[in-house]
Each structure stands twice: as structure tokens, then as C-alpha cells.
């Protein structure tokens, strides 16, 4: 029995020794794994940086990594994008701001008691030519008997002359007597894409000169009915750019700029009952006005002489029309708002109320190409051909464009 106990004792002693050996082995193994993990982690960190900067993948191969397509550092990539965008906005602001001006108006008024007082307003514009041709919104310089002053970004001020007000769009051109002025570069607003970054620069609230805001293009080809703060002097504007870049009072007439530093739009209106919904006139619509002012000294616009409603699928279904595109000739809601202006090119061509203008020189009128946009591609005196749906039958008519008065 003692042998058994001894055996038992020896057995227990051997078991204890085995446990101690295993414990020491686990400790060594754990220590080894920790050291290896630290080394691999350090190499992985360095390797990750090297992999991001390596074009040939040699380092990845040396580390035993076959597929590096899944390796990425989202935070690093996000920071890189943010830095690039911020840098672009900074560069755009520096390059364009010197050509952006503040426009200040002052006028003397008389109240019903015969007392006189001075009132003023403020807006924005930008320089088109080095000798002082400036474009802005028509509503910024709408008052006839008013003194307008242009303040440059460096603080210099000049008396300004209103050269012309656009009879079609919310545009006007001023002139100051100056030379060697910085000018903007005009871009192509037809190339704008929804979601694209843009920068707005203007005289915010009439006192924060050359304020810079950034946002994206929220939509294109928008149509709005815009009016001043009194609710009067309303104007229908088509083909507008919608943006969420902050446009405040005083920004009117200032540029919307792409990240190349090119002007692609002119700030014109905001939705007063919404957040971050602003509108700008595409620069391509203004180019013909700019060319006209350079050639003739005033803005000359061709016109047809019709009031119309753009046809959409909804309008087509509601009115049981046979087409879902084109421009439906309709009278206005107010007094004197006729469908076709007497003596106009449309009147001379025989266009009447409820006719649908389908095409102009083969170009279909639709959401991407409004009637106004297509007409503005031509000059006063040019002859154009219109395809019209009249009383259920298609026909073509020719007319000569005349100047809008």
C-alpha cells in the first residue's frame, strides 16, 4: 500500500512538474506572440504608409501581401479629399475676389409731408473687362434717378454709369472709368453637374464685402417667379442654377464660380421660406448679353412675342394633350397679358393662342432646352423656322426675330 501511495505520490509529483513546464511554455509563447504582434503592427503601420505611396507593389510583395486592392485607410483618404477641396476653394477665392465689386446705391426721396431723406441699397457685381465693364443684376440697379458707386476689393470707389438693363433677364451692365482692372474668367454653365462644388462671392447683407460661401449645384434648369422685398416687380426666370451655397441679401449680382475659378453663374434670387435654396442665372445665358454690350453698347435681345407654359408630362396628362414637350401658348392671368403680342414676330407668323411650339430650327423644346434658351442662340434680324402643333395638325412657319423693347 505504501508503494501505491508512493506511486500515487510520485504520480502527483510528476503531474505537478508537467503543469509547471506547461506554465513556463505558455508564458514564453505568450511573450513571443506579444513581441511578434508589436513587430508586425509596427511593420504593418510603416508598410501601410509605404503601400499607399508605392506604385509597383514591391513592398507589398516583400511583406507577403498578394492583393493590396482591399488595403485602404479611410481616414487618410477622407482627410486628403477635404484638404484638396479646401485648397481649391481657397485658391478660387484668392483668384476671383479681386474682380468682385460691391455696388452701393444712394437716392433722395420725399415723403408726403415734403421732407426729404436718403435711402440706399447694396449689391454685388464682377468685372468683365480691364477698362471697367461690370455685370450685375438688373434689380440691383433698377432705380433710374439714383447714384451708383462701385467699390473695388481694395477699397477704391468709383461713380458708375448704368450702360444697359436686360429686357429679358435679371441682368445689367455698369461702367466705371478705370484701367488695368482684374477680370474674371467665364466658364461653361452647360457643363455643370448636380452635386458639383461651387463658390459664391458677394457683398453679404451690404456690409460684409467679398464674403465667400461654398456649396454644391442642387439642380439645373429651374424656373422661378422672383420679386423684390415688397412683393412687387415680379419677374419669371427660366433655366436657373439651384445651389445650397449661402446667398444672402447683398449677394445679388455676384458670381457663382466652379473650382477651376471660372464664373458659371450670377446670383439672382433666394427662396425666402426655405433653407439654403438659392438661384443663379447661368453664365451661358448672359454671354449673349455680354457680347451685345461690347458690340452695340447695350443689351439687345431677340423675341417671339408669346406667353407660354412649358409642357411636361403632368401638364400633358392634365390637359389631354397629344405631346409631352414644347411650349403651349397661353394668355396671362392679369389684365393686358395676351397670348400673342400684337405686331410681334409670332403674330406676323400667324401663331395663335393654344398653339404648341414644338421645335426651333430642328431643336426640340423640352426641360433641357426651353423656348427662351433656344431663341437666345440667335440674333435680331435672323430668320428661324418653327414647328407648330395647331388644332391637332403639325405645320412649319418662318419668322424674322425682332428686338425686345
- Dump pLDDT digits (tens) for 256-273: 999 999 999 999 988 877
110: enclosing H helix or E strand: strand 100-110
Q: What is the mean pLDDT of residues 353-360?
A: 95
H/E element holding 241? strand 235-243
Q: Is the pLDDT of residue 123 over 50?
A: yes
Task: Say if CB 282 and CB 239 are below 8 A apart.
Answer: yes
In the block, which residue shows the cell 397661353?
A: 330
C-alpha cell at 382: 435672323
The pLDDT, as a whole number, for residue 129 is 94
Distance CA 225, CA 223 (A): 7
Q: Cβ distance 216 to 196 under 8 Å?
A: yes
DSSP 179: -
Kindly report, residue by residue over 46-94, the tens digit of the pLDDT: 333 333 344 445 544 554 555 545 555 455 555 655 566 678 899 999 9
Q: What whole-number distance in Å separates Cα of residue 337 and Cα of residue 104?
A: 34
Look at residue 167 in the predicted model and tell me its pLDDT: 86
pLDDT at 268: 92
Residue spans of alpha helices (H) in 102-217: none
pLDDT (mean) for 238-258:
91
Q: What is the mean pLDDT of residues 27-56?
A: 45
Which DSSP symbol is given to 356? E
**Mean pLDDT on 287-302:** 88
Strand, helix or coil for residue 98: helix
Contact predicate 255/266, CB 8 Å? yes
Q: Is the dihedral of CA 167, 172, 178, 183 positive or negative?
A: negative
Q: What is the mean pLDDT of residues 291-319?
A: 90
Question: Residue 189 pLDDT > 70, yes or no?
Answer: yes
Cβ neighbours for 340, distance < 8 A, ≥ 6 positions apart: 305, 306, 307, 329, 346, 347, 351, 352, 353
d(CA 223, CA 268): 12
pLDDT at 284 over 80: yes
Q: Residue 354 is placed in which grid cell?
A: 393654344
pLDDT tens per residue, range 192-216: 999 999 999 999 888 888 999 999 9
In 3D space, the residue among 189, 167, 326 whose CA is nearest the CA of residue 260 turns out to be 189
6 pLDDT more than 50: no
Q: Return the pLDDT at 239.
A: 85
Q: What angle do CA 10, 11, 13 make, to 5 degrees?
A: 65
Is it the case that residue 114 has pLDDT exceeding 80? no
Per-residue model confidence (pLDDT) at position 231: 53
Own/partner long-range contacts of 42-50 (Cβ < 8 Å, ≥24 apart): 48/73
33-47, 96-110, 139-153: segment of lowest average pLDDT: 33-47
Which residues contact residue 49 at a Cβ distance below 8 angstroms, ignoring those fewer than 6 apart? none
Alpha carbons 289 and 284: distance in angstroms, whole number:
9
Assign 2 to helix, strand or coil: helix
Average pLDDT across the chain, whole number: 80
Distance CA 289, CA 115 (A): 40
Count Cβ atoms within 10 A of the Cβ of residue 63 and give its class: 0-12 exposed, 13-18 middle, 19 or more buried: middle
For the segment 291-312, the average pLDDT, to the nearest whole number, is: 89
**CA–CA gap between residue 230 and residue 226 (Å, rounded):** 11
State mean pLDDT over 220-224: 85
d(CA 262, CA 276): 22
Residues, the chain: 405
Confidence check: pLDDT of 325 > 90: yes
Tally of CB atoms within 10 A around 329? 23
Residue 168 has pLDDT above 70, yes or no: yes
pLDDT at 148 over 60: yes
pLDDT at 17 > cutoff 50: no
Query: Which pLDDT belongs to residue 358?
Result: 97
Residue 238's pLDDT is what?
81
Residue 346: per-residue pLDDT: 95
Q: Flag whether pLDDT at 34 surpasses 60.
A: no
Give me the active site residues, please: 139, 170, 252
Task: Dump the DSSP string for 180-248.
Answer: S---PEE--GGG--TT-EEEEEEEETTTEEEEEEEEEEEEEEEEEEE--TTS-S-EEEEEEEEE-S---
CB within 8 A of 229, min separation 6: which ones? none
Amino acid at each position: 500500500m505504501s508503494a501505491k501511495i508512493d506511486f500515487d505520490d510520485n504520480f502527483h509529483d510528476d503531474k505537478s512538474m508537467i503543469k509547471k513546464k506547461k506554465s513556463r511554455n505558455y508564458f514564453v509563447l505568450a511573450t513571443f506572440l506579444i513581441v511578434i504582434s508589436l513587430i508586425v503592427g509596427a511593420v504593418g503601420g510603416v508598410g501601410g504608409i509605404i503601400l499607399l505611396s508605392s506604385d509597383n507593389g514591391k513592398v507589398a510583395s516583400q511583406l507577403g501581401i498578394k492583393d493590396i486592392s482591399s488595403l485602404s485607410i479611410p481616414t487618410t483618404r477622407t482627410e486628403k479629399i477635404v484638404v484638396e477641396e479646401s485648397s481649391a476653394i481657397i485658391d478660387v477665392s484668392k483668384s476671383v475676389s479681386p474682380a468682385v465689386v460691391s455696388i452701393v446705391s444712394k437716392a433722395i426721396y420725399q415723403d408726403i409731408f415734403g421732407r426729404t431723406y436718403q435711402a440706399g441699397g447694396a449689391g454685388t457685381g464682377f468685372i468683365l473687362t480691364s477698362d471697367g465693364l461690370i455685370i450685375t443684376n438688373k434689380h440691383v440697379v433698377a432705380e433710374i434717378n439714383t447714384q451708383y458707386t462701385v467699390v473695388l476689393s481694395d477699397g477704391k470707389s468709383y461713380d458708375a454709369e448704368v450702360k444697359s438693363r436686360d429686357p429679358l433677364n435679371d441682368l445689367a451692365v455698369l461702367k466705371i472709368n478705370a484701367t488695368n482692372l482684374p477680370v474674371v474668367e467665364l466658364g461653361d454653365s452647360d457643363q455643370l453637374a448636380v452635386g458639383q462644388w461651387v463658390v459664391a462671392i458677394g457683398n453679404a447683407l451690404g456690409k460684409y464685402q467679398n464674403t465667400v460661401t461654398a456649396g454644391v449645384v442642387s439642380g439645373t434648369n429651374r424656373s422661378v417667379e422672383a420679386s423684390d422685398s415688397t412683393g412687387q416687380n415680379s419677374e419669371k426666370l427660366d433655366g436657373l442654377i439651384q445651389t445650397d451655397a449661402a446667398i444672402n441679401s447683398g449677394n445679388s449680382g455676384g458670381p457663382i464660380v466652379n473650382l477651376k475659378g471660372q464664373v458659371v453663374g450670377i446670383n439672382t434670387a433666394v427662396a425666402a421660406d426655405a433653407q439654403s435654396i438659392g438661384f443663379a442665372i447661368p453664365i451661358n445665358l448672359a454671354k449673349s448679353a455680354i457680347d451685345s454690350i461690347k458690340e452695340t453698347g447695350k443689351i439687345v435681345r431677340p423675341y417671339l412675342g408669346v406667353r407660354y407654359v412649358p409642357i411636361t408630362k403632368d401638364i400633358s396628362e392634365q390637359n389631354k394633350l397629344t405631346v409631352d414637350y414644347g411650349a403651349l401658348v397661353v394668355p396671362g392671368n392679369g389684365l393686358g397679358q395676351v397670348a400673342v403680342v400684337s405686331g410681334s414676330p409670332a403674330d406676323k407668323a400667324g401663331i395663335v393662342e393654344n398653339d404648341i411650339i414644338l421645335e426651333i430650327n430642328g431643336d426640340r423644346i423640352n426641360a433641357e432646352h426651353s423656348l427662351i434658351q433656344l431663341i437666345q442662340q440667335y440674333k435680331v434680324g435672323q430668320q428661324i423656322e418653327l414647328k407648330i402643333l395647331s388644332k391637332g395638325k403639325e405645320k412649319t412657319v418662318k419668322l424674322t426675330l425682332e428686338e425686345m423693347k
